[in-house]
Amino acid sequence: MSHLTQAQIAALQQMGICVWINADKLASTDTVAADLEKSQSSSVSSKTDHAVSVNRVAQLRESLSQTTPHQTNPVQTPLTDQQRTQYAQFISDINYAWALCHPQKSLPELVVGTSLRVTDTIVELPCDPGQLDADQKANLWTKLWR
């Protein structure tokens, strides 16, 4: 005796799994076929809904990128001479680590900006080098070694 509902049987059959049906339930196979047709039409509509939601997300991302132009041009200021002398050992450590990790590349410029970022040309710090906390320093060294 099968303890599956008609919807479960229809789902299994849609996946290609054969479900044994008792002879007394054989008369109700018409309802299984109807359930199968319903589930197939709902899967088509869910695919359409998914495509619509993907398009909507793409539109929202595009509109967000258009409304925030300040994110594309972040403010970056090079270290002052006073900062360079005050944090000379820190800068030396960064340059040494860079030279070990990327011997073929020239040293990047050290700037203070809005986030912690390392590229081929700059090392951007979110704040003054003396104000970096332990997590930010660990993140900086991780990014330098990549």
Residue from 96, 97, 99, 135 nearest 116 by CA: 135
Q: Looking at residues 100-118, what average pLDDT do you find?
A: 91
In total, the chain counts a number of residues equal to 146
Are residues 139 and 99 located together in one domain of the fold?
A: yes
Q: Looking at residues 19-38, what average pLDDT do you find?
A: 61
Range of the domain at 96: 77-144
Are residues 123 and 83 located together in one domain of the fold?
A: yes
- pLDDT at 59 (0 to 100): 74
- Which of 14-28, 46-60, 78-92 shows the lowest per-residue confidence on average (mean pLDDT)? 14-28
Judge whether 60 lies within some domain: yes
DSSP state of 104: T
Are residues 86 and 123 located together in one domain of the fold?
A: yes
- pLDDT at 117 (0 to 100): 92
Round to whole Å and give the CA distance between 103 and 93: 15
Give CA 41 to chain center in angstroms.
32
Are residues 88 and 129 located together in one domain of the fold?
A: yes
Are residues 47 and 88 located together in one domain of the fold?
A: no
Round to whole Å and give the CA distance between 29 and 100: 72
Residues sharing a CB contact under 8 Å with residue 9, sequence separation 6 or more, in sequence order: 2, 19, 21, 32, 35
Q: Looking at residues 99-122, what average pLDDT do you find?
A: 91
What is the number of other CB atoms lying within 10 angstroms of the CB of residue 118? Answer: 21
Are residues 32 and 62 located together in one domain of the fold?
A: yes
- Which of 1-5, 14-18, 95-99, 114-118 shows the lowest per-residue confidence on average (mean pLDDT)? 1-5
Q: Looking at residues 99-126, what average pLDDT do you find?
A: 91
Are residues 58 and 107 located together in one domain of the fold?
A: no
- Which of 38-47, 53-62, 70-79, 117-126 shows the lowest per-residue confidence on average (mean pLDDT)? 38-47
Residue 100 amino acid letter: L
Query: Residue 55: pLDDT band by 50, 70, 90 thresholds?
Result: confident
Judge whether 1 lies within some domain: no
- pLDDT at 45 (0 to 100): 62
Indicate the number of domains in the chain: 2
Are residues 64 and 10 located together in one domain of the fold?
A: yes
Q: Which residue among 25, 42, 69 closes a domain?
A: 69
Are residues 44 and 94 located together in one domain of the fold?
A: no
Q: What is the mean pLDDT of the chain?
A: 79
Are residues 136 and 90 located together in one domain of the fold?
A: yes
Are residues 19 and 56 located together in one domain of the fold?
A: yes
